[in-house]
Amino acid sequence: MPMKAIAATILTLLLTHAAFATPADEAAKEGILLLGNGSEPHSLDPHINSSMNGHHVIMTLLEGLIAPSPTDDTIPLPGMAESWENEDFTKWTFKIRQNAKWSNGDPVTAHDFVYSFQRILSPRLGSQYAEMLFNLKNARAFNEGEISDFSEVGTKAIDNHTLTIELEGPIPYFLNILKHSSFFPVHKATVEKYGDMDDPTNNWIREEYVGNGPYVLKNWQMNQIIEVAKSPTYWDSKDVLLNGIKFFPIASENTEDQTFNSGNLHYTYTVPSDMIQVYQDRNDKTLHLDPFFGTYFYVLNNKVPPLDNPKVRQALSLAVNRNAIVRRITKGGQTPAEFFTPPGVAGYSPEPLVSFNPAKARELLAEAGYPNGEGFPTLTIKFNTLESHKAIAEAIQQMWKKILGIDVDIRNQEWKVYINSMQEGDFQIARYAWIGDYLHPDTFLRIMQSDSGQNDASYSNPEYDRLIAQSFIENSDEKRLELLAEAEKILLTDMPVIPIYHYTRVYRIDPRVKGWHSSPLDIRNYKGIYFEN
């Protein structure tokens, strides 16, 4: 073949290949990770956000005292603190690294952490996650207005690089709690440039996001994209392997899956349930089903009749066939919930009190005054827009009609509207999920305390509260777990929520993405992720 013909053939092949290069291909070459991230986060403020999609972004922009391990959720790594020591797991001292900087070049100091702890605990801010810090001495008293002098709370900056934290009682796993974003610092000057430190309407995150994490906020277009770029001021920037990450809020599972298939994503937040078996049959290497420390459940508004009657709540729970839901709808290896807390914590064995018992359900509903559903008002199940949530709501709607003779409506809402409905108590029954903040049952059980900011059910039982409070100051971890199991038994007898199933993490990921490891908490250390092209 003449040289000109050979050259023409090579050029044609190159052009053909270029024509088929996808956005995911181009981004991989540039070291940019394209992630599906569910719905638009309602906030990127670490002290305001309460959703996983917001948490994913915050983990790139901010770093706490302790960083998550890329491979093991139980391993604490140095973050802003380069070292630490403790006295009886109650008094902790952290050394803040000398080269820690904010993205504007200011040094990160121990004072930033004291300021941030005060901010999240401030009653006016109304943070749903303030309770995460209640293990600190006098933190609850400050948050609830019993004391007003923050110097009485168990945290102090000894100097710019020495921070102390004193707890109410010993917590051997405290370092893993510190990985949570509720303990992350915020930049005081930036926050107060746009409002008071404890003003919940302060919009500093949209005006000027100054962070201390491995990435900086580059672009945020609501409901379109959140883009972060590698930070030049981060203390460990040499080990940040990606040049940037783009988070795409795609609420529809089917749309996200199609976006991945068309080469526009490297990772999907979830997978349509009817496609899981298809990809398994194909032996699709992009599909992953990982352990996930979470529970899918329905919240019942305990203030709304007839849901204020525990017999009604128990009847509704007993009429839910969880096996049918995980077998016919979710299809991703999820397990039917027999208790509220997910399995996986060594030494913790709560009594399995959640079951499917139609006869008992009808009996309890009759005892509550609604034999065969007669006179039972039409209630509404609310859920955030997602195909799987709708399918589950429709299934439960049919179960309750067939078994109990009652009618319920179902209604979907866009994520931010749905979050507001939950926070304002504007619901009767609502879809909910909780993913553990650390690998311990108290991260689930504490959210049902009477004064918890996460207790959207408005549930209250003094004995339950007492047991949880006692567990926080218990010296023996074995005894602490016994107290929590006793509390969970009370919870599942009162049934303020209806546990449905325990999660698996179902997603798809481009095989070129390396350093992405299974995480039961879905807490990601993004700086160790890279592409193998």
Q: 502 pairs with which residues across the strands?
A: 295, 335
Confidence at residue 19, expressed as pLDDT on a 0 to 100 scale: 55
Spans of the chain below 70 pLDDT:
1-19
Confidence at residue 473, expressed as pLDDT on a 0 to 100 scale: 84
Tell me the H-state helices in 147-236. Answer: 174-177, 188-193, 204-207
- Directed axis angle between helix 358-367 and helix 310-318, to 10°? 160
Edge-to-edge strands, sheet with 408-413 = 335-336, 497-508, 287-300, 429-435, 379-384, 408-413
pLDDT tens, 14-38?
A: 444 445 899 999 999 999 999 999 9
3-state secondary structure at position 214: coil
Closest CA to 169 of 486, 435, 479: 479
Confidence at residue 153, expressed as pLDDT on a 0 to 100 scale: 98
Question: Residue type at 311?
Answer: K
Longest dimension (CA), the chain: 92
The answer to whether the CB of 183 falls within 8 A of the CB of 64 is yes
Confidence at residue 14, expressed as pLDDT on a 0 to 100 scale: 40
Three-point CA angle 220, 530, 437, nearest 5°: 65
Confidence at residue 416, expressed as pLDDT on a 0 to 100 scale: 86
Residues 6+ apart with CB under 8 A from 34: 23, 24, 27, 245, 246, 248, 264, 265, 266, 267
pLDDT tens, 88-104?
A: 999 999 999 999 999 99
Q: Is the dihedral of CA 305, 306, 311, 316 positive or negative?
A: negative
Question: Residue type at 62?
Answer: L
Phi and psi, residue 183, nearest 5° = -95, 5
User: What's the distance, CA 468 to chain centroid?
Assistant: 21
User: How long is the chain?
Assistant: 533
Which domains can be identified in the chain, with CATH numbers? 52-243+509-531 (3.90.76.10), 292-505 (3.10.105.10)
Confidence at residue 533, expressed as pLDDT on a 0 to 100 scale: 76
Residues 6+ apart with CB under 8 A from 21: none
Nearest 10 degrees: CA dihedral of 336, 342, 347, 349?
A: -40
pTM: 0.89
The answer to whether the CB of 442 falls within 8 A of the CB of 138 is no
